Amino acid sequence: MKDDLIKSLFQVNTQLNRIKRICFDKIDIMSRSEYSFLQHVIDLADKKEEQTISQVAQELQLSNAAVSRTIKHLLAKEWLVREVVETDRRHSIVKVSPLGREVFTQMDKALMELLSSAVEQIDEEDLTTFITLGKQIHQQLSEHAEDDNQ
């Protein structure tokens, strides 16, 4: 019984990822990785926090090389700006540019419009329950993964 539920959980996750991919393809403002990266940098800015590139890589569980490529790409689009850390000039931080925030906001709004029309048939209480359970499952899986790494 529990094995079937776990398989169903992974199937739901796969289906949600597929829907997310379709949404990003349909909107075509930025890629999912660009959106995720900008979201992380914006969240840091909103909390008045900064991270070096290697800290961002660690937080997002990506290699420094992958983060550096993404940053280079987003700098070229002028969605990010790079600043040298004054206390250690070997390190730099990235911040979202006004253009980057504008494009992110545009993408976020388009995603919300697309997704709200898709879920308007679902009861708000059911959505809240789904989200709460999803967070609980994520928390349990994260703790389990951390225990396995120690």
Kindly list the domain boundaries of the chain, sorted by start residue: 1-107+123-147
Q: Where are the beta strands (DSSP E) in 3-142?
A: 80-84, 92-96
The pLDDT of residue 148: 66
Q: Is there a contact between 68 and 53 (Cβ–Cβ < 8 Å)?
A: yes
Q: Read off the pLDDT of residues 73-127 as tens digits, 9 standing for 90 and up.
A: 999 999 999 888 778 777 788 899 999 999 999 999 999 998 888 888 899 999 9
Rounded Cα gap, residues 122 and 88, in angstroms = 51
Look at residue 94 and give its three-state secondary structure: strand
Give per-residue pLDDT as tens, 25-79: 988 899 988 999 999 999 988 888 888 888 888 888 889 899 889 999 999 999 9
* Integer Rg of the chain from CA: 18
pLDDT of 144 > 90? The answer is: no
Q: What is the pLDDT of residue 108?
A: 93
| Beta strands per DSSP E along 5-108 | 80-84, 92-96
pTM of the model: 0.79
Closest CA to 108 of 50, 55, 49, 36: 36
Q: How high is the pLDDT of residue 150?
A: 61
Dihedral sign of CA atoms 10, 16, 18, 24 in order: negative
Domain 1-107+123-147 has CATH 1.10.10.10: yes
